[in-house]
Each structure stands twice: as structure tokens, then as C-alpha cells.
Amino acid sequence: MTQEIEKTGEKPSRRTVLVSALVALVLSILANGYFYSLEGARGVYVWHPLLALKVLLFMGLGPISLAIVALPLEKLAKKLAMRVMRWLSFVGSILVGLISIAILAFLIVVPRTGSLEPARLNLINPSQGILAQGARSEAAFSAAESPESQEAAPIALSPLDRPLLRLAFSSDPHWGADTANATARTQILEEIAARRPDAFFMLGDTVETGNSATQWNLALSDLEALIPAVPLRLLLGNHDALFGGQYLYRKAFYPKGFSSDSGSPYYWSIDAGSATIVAVDLPWGTEMFGARQRTWLEKTLAAADPRRPLIVVSHSYFYASGYDDPTFDTPWYDHYQNIPALVPLFEKYGVDLVISGHNHYQELLAHNGVTYAIIGSMGGIPDPEPSYRSPYSQWMKVAGYGWLDVDVLPGRLALTFRSETGEARQSATIEY
Ligand SMILES: [Fe+2]
């Protein structure tokens, strides 16, 4: 009977329908698999669960399901139902195939269009650390102690007040976002350049949409104009990672020749001479925090010199005040993924300070002997008044821009949360 139908030239044939449905299924698996493999993509599913994403994830099952439903319909005397199913499956296959190819092209081609040169900046290569900066401070410190250098040092700081290392941290400048405050961003960079820290860390969301070379170029031209000499290291934020942005991030800020102790450009530890700085890859939450990174982190924290302060940096935060996302109802506060996955390690291995971005507030928190700093926005639109206050919050600044200075002193860390114009908003001291 079925063969008769095929002989009568029923179009599209069973074979055509099944083969095209299988091709569509394979293409949709490839498109979704490639997207899922990209930095930060998994977090999009969790934190921005758009209906469109779910449709894209399961679209490959549509045509093949219709093709299977059409099979028993071949036995019916009237062929209309079978014909309708076959055509629906066939047209669906073409649509799913085209959408899958478009997604793959979008993810692969868009980040690679437009030119982007490696940054002409004083980038910190994680494997080389910032020992030279720390050593320079220590050398100046020793020189200032010698009698002949006393004349050259008009302010005689006591050794306990003289920083061994001066670090600056900022996050979330969001170059390319219409809502970002370019004036605040420029002011912060000018202030940091004037202070000449030993190292400056930008903790992510450098750009609004990571796959746009135009936006990375905007960031580069400002950074090259304003802080060409400041030793700089960036982290990858959730916005930087969007739709294949990791390619442009690496091209500009982690060029060939750079390497890290972890082997990853996204998480590493830096020997900063007077401090150990450990970066973890948490663009949204723990979606990229797999067994490999976890093992590396535990080993790194366990091996850190206990005489030096241990500072962890990340894009997404741990303890934080915040609000429920009005669109997706996701909680932008006390991070339900990051806290259980990493905080026990921080407490076990004596991490002194954890510095993060992601939320556009400035906040100081402390819990079980670990201090947490959320360093505020370097231009990204300020977050709304928080509806939730973390029980571990000690101080908070809403609706402002700024950054955080951390001075490493003998036996203590001095934290200063600053406004965009450099005024100290809040200070804190942590003993290590
Ligand atoms: Fe951000």
C-alpha cells in the first residue's frame, strides 16, 4: 500500500520528508550545540529565559515528529491527513534548516567581521604576573628608608602606611550602550590614570554586546587615549560574552603569546608580589564553573602564600543586595549559584577579599571572615533602588558611578570606594 502511494508519485515522498527532517534536526543540534559551547551562553538560558531561546532549542524536534506522525496516516484510505503532515514536516524542515544555518552564521561570522587590532595598552599577561610593579614599590619603599633618600621623600610615611602595592578595580563600563554614561566612564579612567596604580582590573561588561567589533573598538580607543600606560587586565563579563564575543575579547585583550597558570584566558591567578590575585570565570553564575575550573581553583587557593593577602576577582558577585528582574523574575542579589559553589572554598582557604561587578551598585559586605566588595558601575546604567538588602551588607551606594582602590599595606588591606570624580565614599580595612 505504501509502496503504491510512492509509485503514484505522492509528493513529497516519505523518504524526502524523513531525510529532510533528519537534516534539519542535525543542523539544529549543531547550531544549539555551538551556541551552548560559547562562553557565557549557558547563562543566557538561565538568567534570560526567553521563549524564543526555548523554541530554538527544541525546533529540530518539530519536523521529525510530524514526519513520524505521517507514517501511520499512510494506511488511511483518504490521504489528505498524510499529505498535510508530510507538507508541514517538509516546510518545517526547510525553516528549521535555514534558521539553524542563520544562527551558525550569526555566531561564527558576525564576531569576525570588522577589524579589531590587539590593544596598544600595557596589558598584564597573567602568567607573568605584576611582580615588577610590586617589586618597584618595594624597592621604592626600601630606598625611602635609606638616609640619602630621605631628602627626596618630602612626606615621611611610616613603613606601616606605605603601600606595598596599589590596585584599582572597576567594572561594567558598557561601551556601546546608549544608556551608559560616557562622561562618568572618562572621568574614572582619567582619575585612575592620574593615580598610576600598579595594576588596574576591569571586571567585565566592557561592552554592551560582545560580538560587535565596533563596540570593542570604542572601548579600545578610549582606553588607549586615557590609560595607555596603566597595567591593565580585563575579565569577561556576561555582556562581553554575548553571541561569540569571546573571540573579540581574546583578540584585543588576550593576544597570542599570553598565557595563564590555568591554561584558560578566562580564569587565572596572578602573582602580584605582595598579594595573590585569583580570577574566576563567572560571567552570569556557575554555568562555566565546571570540574576543571573548580579543581584548579581549590589547588590555587590551597597553594597561596598565607603571608600575603588573597584576593579573588569575578564578574558576577556572591553576597549582594539587589532586586528581582522585572522581566525574567531572576534574583539579582545573594547569588544562589555562586554562594554554595565557591564561598565554602573562600572560607576554607582564607580568602581575604572578593571583588566583583555585575550589579551596578557599590556595596561592602562581610560574612564568616571574608570581605566582599561590589565595585559599582564604570558607566553602565545604575541599577534601581534595591528591594532586597543582603543580611551581610555593611554599606551601599545606589545610583552612582565609581571604582574601588585597594592598597596592600603591611598586615592590612585598605579599601576606598570612590565616586567617578575620585572622592572617597567609603573606606574599610581588612587585616590579613
Ligand atoms: Fe553590567
Report how far ligand 1's centroid is from the alpha carbon of 51 (Å): 23
3-state class (DSSP) for residue 262: coil
Cα 145 to ligand 1 centroid, rounded to whole Å? 44
- Ligand 1 centroid–CA 95 distance in Å is 35
Query: How confident is the model at residue 142, as a pLDDT?
Result: 46
The pLDDT of 236-243, averaged and rounded, is 97
65 alpha carbon – ligand 1 mean position (Å): 41
Distance separating alpha carbons of residues 325 and 328, to the nearest angstrom: 6
How much distance in Å is there from the Cα of 276 to the middle of ligand 1?
25
Ligand 1 centroid to residue 234 C-alpha, Å: 14
Extended strands (E) in 280-328:
310-314, 323-324
The pLDDT score that the predictor gives to residue 131 is: 61
Bridge partners for 310 per DSSP: 276
pLDDT digit string, tens, across residues 104-120: 999 999 999 989 988 89
- Segments in 333-379 forming alpha helices (H): 338-348
CATH number of 126-431: 3.60.21.10
pLDDT digits (tens, 9 = 90+) for 125-172: 999 988 645 445 444 444 444 444 444 444 556 667 789 999 999 999
Q: How far is the CA of 309 from the centre of ligand 1 (A)?
A: 27
Mean per-residue pLDDT over the chain, rounded: 91
Q: Is the CB of residue 340 less than 8 Å from the CB of residue 319? A: no
- 239 CA to centre of ligand 1 in angstroms: 7
Measured in Å, residue 209 CA sits from the centre of ligand 1 at: 11
The closest alpha carbon to 377, from 167, 170, 168, belongs to 170
Residue 378 CA, ligand 1 centroid: distance in Å: 9
Rounded to the nearest angstrom, the distance between the alpha carbon of 266 and the centre of ligand 1 is 17
Domain ranges for the chain, please list them.
2-112, 126-431
- Tell how far the Cα of 203 is from the centroid of ligand 1, in angstroms: 10
